[in-house]
Structure 1
Amino acid sequence: MRFYKLLLLFSTVLVAQTEYPKDYFGVPVDIPILLSGNFAELRPNHFHAGFDIKTKGREGIEVHSVADGFVSRIKISPYGNGSALYIDHPNGFTSVYCHLQQAQGPIADFIRKAQYKENSFEVELFLKPTDLPVKKGELIALTGNTGSSQGPHLHFEFRDTKTEKIINPLHFGYDSFLKDTRKPTVAALYVYPLDDKTTVNNSKRPILLNLALQKDGTYLANKVSANGKIGFGVTAEDYDAASYSKNGIYKIQSHLNGKATFGFQMDTYSFDEMRYINALIDYPKYRKTGQRVQKLFMETPFPLSIITTDADNGVVTVKPNLSSVYQIDVADYFGNTTTITVPISYDMMSTIIEKEVVESNYFVKVNRENIFSKDNWTVTFPAGTFYDNFDMNFNVRGESLYLHDEMTPVHSSFTISVENEKYGADDSGKVYIADVDSRGRYGYNYTTKKGNVFTTKVKSLGRYTLAKDTSNPTISIGRSIEGKWISSQKSIDLTIGDSGSGIKSYNGYLNGVWALFEYDYKTRKITHNFSEGIVAEGANELKVVVVDNVGNSTTFETRFFRSQK
């Protein structure tokens, strides 16, 4: 444990001593840099990896390479980052550009050749330095809204080329493009009793503390009266002076009687650490209310490198005959700071609000493998699946497994298996273990079958059941083109969907030749642009085949005419 604390401290010192080039990189777009999301902002299951640069609510703005280098990686996907380009620079850093509408010039040609070679819209390509060299300021793409983007913008980030660690873009001189004189805003402060014996302000549940603004601009919280181990958590956000968008916090540091207890600073971290956001925040409150409370303590230590902590992991032990002062400093990158002071005293007060009752029949320990079985269901949790020990409810009712609830975060995959003789060889390929949400909707999980045992790996608690999908995917076209001349059209759009296990693949063919169709899962549309040059003069036959995750398929065919002149 002591080594772990020293390692965290050493990592922070290294970050503080790292010198990043301030004048090496240019800007990726020729419009003012206004952010709709900043580095390390709290997102579902991850910290945000870069800047979300506003593009005036539209697509098609030119994107330029921020320095000399070469395109080292290209990933085209309907999900996640959408269409993304990675450029390695000779100074050891990589710039990343995501949610692109389309690449430009030689990069676009390279992508198209790869897609037709692999007969796939989705491609991931790793390139040599000589394949696609670029110069600083060179046009590489147009901004878009592809992947999981919720609106037109450019996601832009920096990584260490060798380690692939993500780095705050502000360290590379981009702070000069952002004006920020506003202090972070603390929306809520909570105090948590951390064991069954502790009562805080007559409660064994987390308590929201009132904050009073002082004349010097700091805040004073309600007095905390407790008799054991407690911790604190804050909901905070930051706004710069130009974007008017809610951003994440750069730095938080707490002190107890002047000594540092717990803090974090958003400089750099690895992708392997992303999911630890669910340990840093009050996850049950987030799932219930959508509010993200950042905890300033760890009940069970977890290796998130941005955190520095004292020997007690930020936990405060309130002892008899001692009064303490707890202080929280919430700061942005520019040094604007909001300070909160919390007076703490010991008091053996009575409990008015009892601890919330949790239905449970098993106890799960974080650091060991846990295996539970009931009826025909078995669940195996490897060591390290969860962040904290907890009381778990494990039950089987009817044909469903009820695995606690979704309020408990899961860090890594665990295995669910069920023995069932109901499905024979003819239909077992259509059967999978589905997760069932609160509305009764089924979610597909890749499932294997050995004998009569179905097995899957998942990353969330909740309800699971066996589901059978025998329905075919759907394919539709907005306006029929059967037998028609469509010379004025620039593209063909179809809508695809599946009400069961979900779409696994789709392929389009023009006159028997594979044709590129781009897929946007948000609209469920696939689009073929005639500029691809596949369409023939005169008569054309179009065929589209869609397959779901258990092998059900649908074929759509039509015949149309087009003049290329």
Structure 2
Amino acid sequence: MRFFLFFLLISRAVIAQTVYPQDYFQPPLAIPMQLSGNFGELRPNHFHAGFDFKTQQREGLEVHAAADGYVSRIKISPFGNGKAIYINHPNGFTTVYCHLQTATGAIEAYIKKTHYKEQSNEIEMFPQANELVVKKGDVIALSGNSGSSEGPHLHFEFRDTKTEKIINPMFFGFDKNFKDTKKPIVSAVYVYPLDGATANKSKQPLMLNLSLQKDGTYLANKVLANGAIGFGVSAVDYDNVSWNKNGAFKIQSYLNGKASFGYQFDTYSFDEMRYVNALIDYGRYKKTSQRVQKLFMKTPYNLSIIKTDATNGVITVLPNLSSTYRIEVADYFGNTTIINIPIAFDASSPIVEKEKVESNYFVKANKDNIFSKENMTVTFPAGTFYDDFAMNFAVNGAALTVHDDTVPVHSSFEITMESDKYSEEQKSKVYIASLSSSGRLGYNSTSVKGNLYATKVRSLGKYTLAMDTTAPTISMAKSIEGRWISNDKTIQLSISDSGSGIKSYNGYLNGNWILFEYDYKTRKITHHFSDGIVAEGANDLKVIVTDQVGNAATFETHFFRSQK
């Protein structure tokens, strides 16, 4: 037993490659820890940066400081992490608490003071080390559902304070809070013929049949191929308690017993997040929502967690040679699912040809590319894409087609459109819009110089010029005009915009700016009378909402309130 414990500690240290403190940090919630999302889980355009802790499907649970330290950053936004608090700790790590309902005590007072000082609903603050000191276990906030949260929970992260790299919370002893004896579930394994190769008489990716063996491993049907091939796997993991689909911690492939391609989710930087689109079969994901993690790189990319052989996981199948390919999918606790795939050479002609792509241009990923047609131009700087590809580029009337969104984009590229159809007064209302398949317009920040409109975007698809001259709408579910509302704790209004979208919203009581909190999921803004701005007796309320191109709407009413 002693040997086993010693081996376990050593193996964990090897996995992490850094000795992290095991008993320094406490859980941020005083309830049993259950995950709705784990570290490294595959998300749209990013890897998940921490743990999502369940909060019993409700808001308002006390959130505790994980250790002594000071609040180093606070960000309040209706999007992303919502209300977020960052705490720097003296041992060189930072903990992050997101989607909060509200901060508490001195932290909340600091936030509220800043809101009114800056007269801004969205703020970011960087307190000094002596301003908001906290002790381990202090209640710093209440859990919530703010920002881009899809339900009440607490998003919790560890970061290296100096480098800002995010770190798997399991390394800090949080594994003691979970029980997991379940192996990851592999739902699919694919073989990818590359560069004109054939696999099982197909030039297109094929899903392999898997059969469970007596020893608990899986055996795939034999891959008969010629030329270069790669493999991909779709997998999820469950623990014993939460029953949520989580991501696998480690995936490693072997060719004839030698490590070929693998990665584990231990630590990485925010600059690497978007490489999730290179790691997965992005086209399949956009078409089917299935995330297949590729175990090869046609073109190398700088995702630091990947460890690969000289071929970047690409296997060249040659005559008279047979190989065995093995995939191991593991969770943090060592539960492992193993798939063995026999490979042999086959010179048979393909039955399934490569999928045809509508295209009239070719994009080189490592070079600058400029394409123009009529009055529209697209400029791709080198490094915009992960791989070379055949692109469909066309202009049809007022619409520009830049391929489609099945090809991932790593960094922004520029679109310009020239038009003389708008007057000088109209130009400020015009923008380059994304055009969905249903005809819905999406706003992109656009500059104009003369008759030339320009924007930077990060997605392929259709674009067109659009003009928005319609102001936002503001409404109140139940009128308070001339009424006494002494028992109400808040004022709430609904705001929306059918064109370019809402840019700003500001409220005033008796001419004084007041804080409104915006929940874009419900399209409501809320002011709390506890801010202390409301006057005894008569009050005049004004709310101004402005959209992205400057159209503004004003709502005014008056009411009475007693504070006694």
* TM, length-normalised to structure 1: 0.97
- CA distance in 1: counterparts of 2:483 and 2:127, whole angstroms: 43
* Residue 17 of structure 1, CA deviation: 2.7
Local SS of the residue matching 1:426: helix
Q: Which residue of 2 aligns with 1:9?
A: none
* Alpha-carbon distance between aligned partners in 1 of 2:423 and 2:471, rounded to the nearest angstrom: 20
Question: Residue 550 of structure 2 aligns to which amino acid in structure 1?
Answer: G
Counterpart CA distance in 2 for 1:438 and 1:521 is: 24
Pairs within 5 Å for 1:442-461: 442-461=441-460
Q: Provide the rounded CA distance (Å) in 2 between the counterparts of 1:417 and 1:473.
A: 27
In the alignment, the residues of structure 2 paired with residue 549 and residue 524 of structure 1 have an alpha-carbon distance, to the nearest angstrom, of 16
Aligned positions, number: 553
Cα deviation for residue 142 of structure 1 reads 0.3
| Residues 515-534 of structure 1: per-residue CA shift (max 9 Å, x gap) | 11110000000001111111
Instruction: Give the corresponding residue for 1:527.
Output: 526
Aligned residue type for 2:137: G
Which residue is equivalent to 1:326? 325
- 1:266-305 residue pairs with structure 2 within 5 A? 266-305=265-304
Q: What does residue range 94-493 of structure 1 map to in structure 2 within 5 Å?
A: 94-196=94-196, 198-493=197-492
* Distance of aligned partners of 1:248 and 1:162 in 2 relative to their CA distance in 1, 3 Å threshold: same
The Cα offsets for residues 34-93 of structure 1, whole Å up to 9 and x where unpaired, read as 000000000000000000000000000000001000000000000000000000000000
Paired letter, 2:524: K
Aligned-partner Cα distance in 2 for 1:17–1:240 = 24
Q: How far did residue 282 of structure 1 move?
A: 0.2
Question: Can you list the C-alpha shifts for 1:114-142, whole angstroms capped at 9, x where unaligned?
Answer: 00011111100011101100000001000
Alpha-carbon distance, 1:426 to partner = 1.1
Using the aligned pairs only, state the percent identity: 69
Q: Partner amino acid for 1:448?
A: S
Q: Distance in 1 between matches of 2:201 and 2:209?
A: 15
Q: Distance in 2 between matches of 1:486 and 1:193?
A: 69
Question: In structure 1, how many angstroms separate the alpha carbons of the residues matched to 2:53 and 2:450?
Answer: 52
Contact 2:83/2:100 (8 A) holds in 1:
yes
1:524-550 Cα deviation digits (max 9, x unpaired): 000011111111111100000000000
- Whether 2:86 is the aligned partner of 1:73: answer no
Equivalence for 2:558:
559
Following the alignment from structure 1 to structure 2, what is the Cα–Cα distance between the partners of residues 420 and 360?
Answer: 26
TM-score by length of 2: 0.97
* Residues 1:315 and 1:463: Cα distance change in structure 2 (over 3 Å): same
Please give the per-residue CA displacement for 1:232-279, whole angstroms capped at 9, x wherever unaligned: 000001001111111001000000001111000100000000000000
- SS of 1:279's partner is helix
Q: Secondary structure at the match of 2:109?
A: helix
Counterpart residue type for residue 418 of structure 1: M
- Structure 1 residue 13 displacement after superposition: 11
Distance across 1 between alignment mates of 2:16 and 2:538? 66
> 2:446 & 2:243 partners in 1: Cα distance?
46
Q: Deviations over 1:409-429 (max 9, x none)?
A: 000000000111111211100
Shift, 1:353, TM fit:
1.0
Unaligned runs of 5+ in 1: 1-11
Conserved 8 A contact 2:16-2:171: no
Separation in 2, partners of 1:301, 1:14: 26
Distance 2:13 2:419 in 1: 56
| CA RMSD in angstroms, aligned pairs only | 1.0
SS of residue matched to 1:481: coil
Instruction: Give, in angstroms, the shift of residue 16 of structure 1.
Output: 4.0
Change (3 A) 1:119 1:310: same
Q: How much does 1:350 deviate? A: 2.0
The CA deviation at 1:438 is 1.3
Question: Structure 1 counterpart of 2:86, which letter?
Answer: Y
User: C-alpha deviations, 1:147-191, integer Å up to 9, x for none?
Assistant: 000000000010000000000000000000010111110000000
Distance in 2 (CA, whole Å) between partners of 1:498 and 1:222 is 54
More deviation, 208-217/483-492 = 483-492
Could you say which residue in structure 2 is the equivalent of 1:5? none
- CA distance in 1: counterparts of 2:36 and 2:437, whole angstroms: 31
Structure 1 pair 13/102, CA: closer, same or farther in 2 (3 Å)? closer
Question: Which whole-Å CA distance do the structure 2 matches of 1:394 and 1:519 have between them?
Answer: 39
| Runs of 4+ residues over 3 Å off in structure 1 | 12-16
Report the Cα offset of residue 351 of structure 1: 1.3
Letter in 2 for 1:470: T
| Matched position secondary structure for 1:427 | helix
Q: Give per-residue Cα distances to partners, 1:315-367, cap 9 Å, x unaligned.
A: 01000000000000000111110000000000011211111110111110011
3-state secondary structure, aligned to 2:199? coil
Aligned to 1:24: 24
Report the equivalent of 2:504: 505
Write the distance in 1 (CA, Å) between the matches of 2:436 and 2:132. Answer: 45
Question: Contact 2:13–2:19 (CA<8 Å) still a contact in 1?
Answer: no
